[in-house]
A and B are shown apart, each in its own frame.
Chain A
Amino acid sequence: QVQLQESGPGLVKPSETLSLTCTVSGGSISSYYWSWIRQPPGKGLEWIGYIYYSGTTYYNPSLNSRVTISVDTSKSQFSLKLSSVTAADTAVYYCARTQLRTGWHVYWGQGTLVTVSS
Chain B
Amino acid sequence: QSALTQPPSVSGAPRQRVTIFCTGSSSNIGAGYDVNWYQQLPGTAPKLLIYDNSNRPSGVPDRFSASKSGTSASLAITGLQGEDEADYYCQSYDSSLSGSVFGGGTKLTVL
Interface assignment of B64: CB less than 8 Å from any CB of chain A:
no
- Asked if B105 contacts A45 (CB within 8 A), the reply is yes
Chain B residues within 8 Å of A79, by CB: none
Q: Mark B68-104, 1 if CB is under 8 A from A, else 0.
A: 0000000000000000000001010100011111111
- With A44-B2, A47-B102 given, is the CB distance from A103 to B34 under 8 Å? yes
Given the known inter-chain contacts A108-B45, A108-B47, please indicate yes or no for A102 contacting B93, CB distance below 8 A: yes
Instruction: List the A side residues contacting B51 at CB < 8 Å.
Output: 99, 103-104, 106
Q: For window 82-118 of chain A, which residues contact chain B by CB distance below 8 Å?
A: 94, 98-99, 101-106, 108-111
Complex Cα–Cα for A37 and B91 (A): 12
> Residues of A with Cβ closer than 8 Å to B?
35, 37, 44-47, 49-50, 58-61, 94, 98-99, 101-106, 108-111
* Cβ-closest chain A residue relative to B98: A58
- B100→A98 contact, CB < 8 A: yes
User: Does B52 lie within 8 Å of A104, measured CB to CB?
Assistant: yes
B22 to chain A, nearest CB (A): 12
Contacts of A50 in B (CB 8 A): 99-100
Q: Is the CB of B103 within 8 A of A44?
A: yes
- Residues of the B chain whose Cβ atoms lie less than 8 Å from the Cβ of A60: 97, 99
Task: List, sorted by A's number, 7 A–B pairs whose CB atoms are closer than 8 Å.
Answer: A45-B102, A58-B98, A59-B99, A98-B100, A103-B36, A105-B36, A110-B44
B30 within 8 A of A: no
In the complex, A94 Cα to B89 Cα: how many Å? 15
Q: Considering the chains assembled together, what is the distance between the CA atoms of A101 and B94 in angstroms? A: 11
